Structure 1
């Protein structure tokens, strides 16, 4: 035992009921000084605090908080600090397992952005190098982070984002500098309300009902709540900084950090591999929708596909004047083939309107390139960046699938999601960006699983570009959540030679032409695009073997 919960103050999100409430009870039983339980369910939370105070007088307080909203997380954190005076431990437990159309955005805000927000606030409060007392942040991921399921691709993507964020932000010497220990727990299916009504939780009702029937017919049993709680306490007591743990099937909690590290070591090695080439798809006479298309790589993708015979291209961007000028330039060399549509990819209402406008202009959308991206983890921008990099990409993907799928009258098509090598490497200066890009990769492989292409005719591809000579790599010192780390990153990359824009564009065109459905590709160092799907699959196969062991 290295860490002791005795006399520590705890903040637990999603603490009104389920595992959150049980964590509160357990740590009070182990000597915690005080516990603040945060939840959107006010009446349930008040009742839980009252129950806890009966056995542990004046040690529990309830604070109302909607973890999907930044204003709520800020107010709740301040209220908890006022009550506890000091916060020693944060357990980011709040979570929603729903990919359904009316809930997936809120769920992602809770599962991913809420975790980031409370983590950053906790780090700022705890860090010893800025006058804090140190502490522990426990981020609840899931076995969804290290396994694959086609029915819940958004949930699975958000949970691997939590895992990758945690391992990036805690890269050495983070603990040595700050005294803040970051731990990640991957819970297996546990007997809580999260596992009820599975049929209604998928983005696709048929897939949800299939999973629900399979769980019922196979007699699947979930681990007991007590097992999940004991795993949490044991991890807290012994978990080394930056470690990742697994609790599944009522077995003792297991440190899986070596397994995850091995997979990411493998990812980093696979950035140098073999190339396979064959032509299967032709962009000629296809219509394209490209987000972030006003400038940079997006504009170059538009130019390249028009040169390869595309019928028409809709470029979407928030930069209106630049977008109009780009469309005008493209139309000079390819008359009446480019149209600009204003769109803020961080906002659902803009996405819905822009998709409808593109469809009205193009009549049919054959290809979507989800290119829009912001590489900024700075405090005033990280939420907007995540909305663009992750939730905007999901929204366009779901709209594209609905429009294209052949089993519902569509003509099929291709969706290209732009991830990054940040998804398969660890960068402590940009943990939110790295995590959002890993979420993109995992979402792409989950949603495209199994018979998806055969059923829908929609080919989902993922591209992981390496550092490319675009404005995304300018002013790096200002892009980190921590200015000191930002300056270090800028110094490291100061002499680095980024690949040319032309190389990245050629890689996407090449991938479009030859890539099999559900594949993941990399482009870096001006080398030809490479299919890295086998390496990604190998890593996740090893994760899934770990879950079965």
Structure 2
């Protein structure tokens, strides 16, 4: 096992002014880092930490940069400051995070926990990768034990940390590492005694969950932030690219890569199972045959169904969205469908109305990342039908290019957190299970 050294490294730490981040900054300086950049929105804490470290290590060892990582301009400017001062960056630790699923904060939390982390990782790769003239390096992305388990109280935070784990593993895999020389490591902290878990900071997605969170956290033994920071250093020194590490219960950092790999192998076992989504439906020839899809229908008789983005044609007419629309209407559902593109939009609506009746389907042009359009779409459905029973969040973008990935995240991740919150009151009032 290779052992990596922090000596003379230029280090970049987000969320570095307090808690685990601040202790990680100190740990790298103790290990002989050349320079550590401290990014945080907490200006007073950051300035105080910079002064403390300058007194101990010298003027050029640490620099605080006030930065909201969810603001791309501020984040990229912070990278520029570090490059201009030091010529390069060797280690990036994406530690900034928010643990709050409440309606007022969850979108900001997703921007910090997922989108900004991905933006920072891509920028670090661009600067460090050997195949583009860089020196190689390491990126450490902070996930959480919440990304390894399921908890009903923090669905949004858990989803975000699962995304961090999967992203870090995949972008750290071969052939990426051989090309770039940049290790990407995921770290999952257990419950840690920091401000993140203070009553003032955390929040649940609804009142019931919020009320239960404080007692829920008390069930877990908290580790000291010093132990968490020591684990970060251990993972940096010993972690291979695409590895995952668990740091919890005051124990040394544990490489759990094999566990994570096995877990994903278990999750994907159903891929070889062949199902026919639409076998037995009327006019079977009009609905495509699907392989490798496990799909369960509950009764949709007399229900009002919202279907986001019912694609009409893609890839030899094997269109999952359209098949669900047809299957639902055969079962006497009232269907509303929306998408942002106007391409072929009227064809499925006109076709479905002709076959099932004008009152059975309605197309609503809507970019689901535009909250006003999304809320108006819900309002239209409720105005027309009095309530909504089923929401299918199908909108998605499969494009990781630099110009599109943030829009893709907004549609693929943030969008499906918005939809349940918008529709929840209608569901609960109608006792939908």
- TM-score of the aligned structures, taking structure 1 as reference length: 0.71
Deviation, structure 1 residue 91: 0.1
Contact 1:298 / 1:372 at 8 angstroms: preserved in 2?
no
Q: Which residue does the alignment assign to 1:317? A: 339
Residue in structure 1 matched with residue 285 of structure 2 by the alignment: none
Does the CA contact (< 8 Å) of 1:10 and 1:36 recur in 2?
yes
- Alpha-carbon RMSD across the aligned residues, in angstroms, is 2.2
Q: Measure, in 2, the Cα distance between the counterparts of 1:280 and 1:265.
A: 26
CA contact (8 A) 1:10 1:35 kept: yes
Counterpart contact for 1:141–1:187, Cα < 8 Å: yes
3-state SS, counterpart of residue 245 of structure 1: strand
- TM-score normalized by the length of structure 2: 0.89
Counterpart CA distance in 2 for 1:99 and 1:51 is 34
The change in CA–CA distance for 1:222 and 1:351 in structure 2 (over 3 A counts) is same
Partner of residue 278, structure 2: none
Deviation at 1:41, TM superposition (A): 2.1
Q: Does 1:287 align with 2:304?
A: yes
- For residues 447-526 of structure 1, the aligned pairs below 5 Å read 457=433
Q: Residue 240 of structure 1 aligns with which residue?
A: 240
1:183–1:325 Cα change, 3 Å: same
Name the structure 2 match of 1:326: 348
1:412-427 superposed matches below 5 A:
412-413=431-432
Report whether the alignment pairs 1:269 with 2:289: no
Q: Which residue of 2 aligns with 1:370?
A: 393
- Checking the alignment, whether the CA contact within 8 Å between 2:173 and 2:241 is kept in structure 1 is no
> What is the SS of the residue equivalent to 2:212?
helix
Structure 1, unaligned stretches of length 5 or more?
Answer: 414-456, 458-549
Given that 1:199 and 1:211 are in contact with CA atoms closer than 8 Å, whether structure 2 keeps it comes out as no
Structure 1 residues 384 and 280: CA distance shift in structure 2, 3 A = closer
The residue aligned with 1:31 is 32
From 356, 379, 383, the counterpart of 2:402: 379
3-state SS in 2 of match to 1:341? strand
Contact 2:305 2:391 in 1 (8 A): yes
| Structure 1 residues 105-254: aligned runs within 5 Å | 105-197=107-199, 201-216=203-218, 218=219, 220-254=220-254
Q: In structure 2, the residue corresponding to 1:271 is in which secondary structure?
A: helix
* Superimposed CA distance per residue, residues 422-469 of structure 1 (whole angstroms, 9 cap, x where no aligned partner): xxxxxxxxxxxxxxxxxxxxxxxxxxxxxxxxxxx3xxxxxxxxxxxx
Does the residue aligned with 2:240 lie in a helix, a strand or coil? coil
Aligned length: 407
In the TM superposition, what whole-angstrom CA distance separates every residue of 1:350-404 from its partner, at most 9, and x where no partner exists?
2222222222223211111100000000000001001101110111122222320
Decide which moves more: 19-28 or 79-88. 79-88
Separation (CA, whole Å) in 2 of partners of 1:383 and 1:124 = 17
**Structure of higher CA gyration radius:** 2
Tell me the alpha carbon deviations over residues 333-357 of structure 1, each in whole angstroms, 9 at most, x when there is no partner.
1222111112111222222222222
Q: Structure 1 residues 200 and 190 mapped into 2: Cα distance closer, same or farther (>3 Å)?
A: closer
Distance 2:295 2:70 in 1: 45
Which segment is superposed worse, 109-118 or 193-202?
Answer: 193-202
Q: State the distance in 2 between where 1:242 and 1:385 align.
A: 23
Unpaired stretches in structure 2, ≥5 consecutive residues: 276-293, 314-319
How far apart in 1 are the matches of 2:296 and 2:180? 52
In structure 2, the residue matched to 1:416 is none
Q: Deviations over 1:209-263 (max 9, x none)?
A: 22313444x5x43100110011011111111121110100000110000111111
